[in-house]
Amino acid sequence: MSLDKFLFRMLDVCRVPGPLAGDLLEERKSGRSGLWLTRQVAIAVAAALAREVAGHKLQSILAMSVGLAVSVPIATSTRLLGNSVLWFGLGHLLAYCLAGYIICRSFSARALAMSAVFVVYAGLAKTCLLAFNAERLINGAALPYIFLTLLTPLAALLPGLWFSSARYPDRQ
Amino acid sequence: MPRRQINDVELLILLALLRLGPDAYGVPIAREIESRAQREIALGTVYAVLDRLEAAGLVTSELGEATPERGGRARRYFYVTDVGLRAVRDAMSSMRAMTAGLEILQGAAS
């Protein structure tokens, strides 16, 4: 799949309004670079998701609560299987994928926006927790755990992308 | 009801709409601001601001015809309403009042 096709597919999946997507296509055809298009699509997608979240504040709070209720027990219980980086990473990936899936099932009309709001919330919460424990964590051995802690919440977006792709089929 | 204050990006976009007249849609609006004000504004930002202005009654919009060059997507044309025009006049008048007689700005305006 070419970069352009992927980017315009993302616009459809993230429900970016047609006129804006049309403007971006028009500009791309008039010679704008792939980098320009990538930046514009990122901004358009972020704006579309933010608008959807702002329009459904209560659902967003519920989505965050559901995500938290699913991910925390799973991530915590997988620690019982071992404390290695591998188990830590797998446990967190599983926890966030499942949280994303449950959020998408619960809020299927706005699957991607609701999973995105949970990812932002989880990312901010994890960053705060790491910052409060910074003194204890400043050593080389903690680095892989910090890395995984900050990146694994992104896994909750995968079910959202999958749900939205199925809901808004490719128009090209 | 108090009049809605507009920020600098909203003012730039409203001025671009006034300059472009009936041909104002996303692409020319962004280009007009880029060429005249030397400010690059993302198209997503232009639409987000226009949505906000439309909700506040400062602009209206209508969809044009879908064209194959745009992948079957229509253009959305924007127009400034009377309320919008009044907001622009207020903002310009505040700007003039604040800058009048400021020697430090002499020569920077040209």
- Cβ A19–B47 below 8 Å, yes or no? yes
Answer for the pair B70, B27: CB distance below 8 angstroms, yes or no. no
pTM: 0.78
Q: What is the pLDDT of residues A33-67, one digit of tens each?
A: 999 999 999 999 999 888 889 889 999 999 999 99
**Rounded average pLDDT over A155-167:** 85
Backbone angles phi, psi at B25, to 5 degrees: -135, 180
Per the prediction, chain A carries an average pLDDT of 87
The answer to whether residue A39 neighbours chain B at the CB level (below 8 Å) is yes
Q: Given this model, what pLDDT does residue A3 score?
A: 85
With 0-12 / 13-18 / 19 or more C-beta atoms within 10 angstroms meaning exposed / middle / buried, residue B74 is middle
Residues 50-69 of A with CB under 8 A from B: 51
* Sequence-distant (≥ 6) Cβ neighbours of residue B73 within 8 angstroms: A18, A19, A21, A22, A25, B66, B67
Q: How far apart are CA A17 and CA A40, in angstroms?
A: 14
ipTM: 0.85
Q: How far apart are CA A97 and CA A81, in angstroms?
A: 19
Q: Which residue of A has its CA nearest to B51?
A: A51
Q: Given this model, what pLDDT does residue A36 score?
A: 92
Which residues in B lie closer than 8 A to residue A46 (C-beta atoms)? 44
The answer to whether residue A46 neighbours chain B at the CB level (below 8 Å) is yes
Q: Is the pLDDT of residue A70 over 60?
A: yes
For A8, other C-beta atoms within 10 Å of its C-beta total 22
Tokens (6 digits) for B15: 């001025």
Q: What angle do CA A102, A108, A109 make, to 5 degrees?
A: 155
Q: Is the pLDDT of residue A1 over 60?
A: no
- Structure-derived torsion over alpha carbons of residues B42, B45, B49, B51, reported in degrees to the nearest 10: 110
pLDDT in tens, chain B (110 residues): 567 788 999 999 999 999 999 989 999 999 999 999 999 999 999 999 999 999 999 999 999 888 888 888 899 999 999 999 999 999 999 999 998 888 888 765 54
Lowest mean pLDDT: which of A14-28, A30-44, A74-88, B93-107? A74-88
The answer to whether residue B77 neighbours chain A at the CB level (below 8 Å) is no
Which residues in B lie closer than 8 A to residue A26 (C-beta atoms)? 27, 69-70
Residues 107-136 of A with CB under 8 A from B: none
Q: Is the pLDDT of residue A134 over 80?
A: no
Q: Which residue of B has its CA nearest to A50?
A: B48
